[in-house]
Structure 1
């Protein structure tokens, strides 16, 4: 797996685990949503500054985004699309 694919895999893994959409992650990191998608697909050369911004939002060390996934690991499931229903007042 090349470096861009590793970063994309890990980014998606942590983003989904946090329950963040690409849009929310991008907004919090101060980058464009489509850029996040390209990074996750491994088609973008991401800068260290951008990795740092993404890692800060995901609350993980930058180095974790560069760690190769274990062999045989399955890709993270996508988040449910659409808006989440508003919670009812108690």
Structure 2
């Protein structure tokens, strides 16, 4: 999977840990499958915008807090 997906997954995991939530809690709060969330955090799946919004809402954060910086526009 691409670097963006890995960075996004890392940001989601860091926010989840910061908010003191387990994957199971985030799964319940977001309405998403726990195995799917695990793949998102590992960066092995591309998350849709709608699902990313569900994750941000469940974490009580702004969507922009989860999106990684893009330093090289040629890599997109």
Q: Which residue of 2 aligns with 1:3?
A: 4
| Aligned counterparts of 2:18 and 2:5: Cα–Cα separation in 1 | 20
Choose 1 or 2 for highest CA Rg. 1
2:76 is the alignment partner of 1:59 = no
The two structures have a TM-score, normalised by structure 2, of 0.83
Whether the 8 Å contact between 1:22 and 1:37 is mirrored in structure 2 is yes
Gaps of 5+ in 2: 70-76
Whether the 8 Å contact between 1:6 and 1:65 is mirrored in structure 2 is no
Q: How many residues matched?
A: 68
More helix, by proportion: 2
The two structures, once aligned, show a CA RMSD in angstroms of 1.2
Gaps of 5+ in 1: 69-90
Q: After TM superposition, what 4+ stretches of structure 1 lie above 4 angstroms from structure 2?
A: none
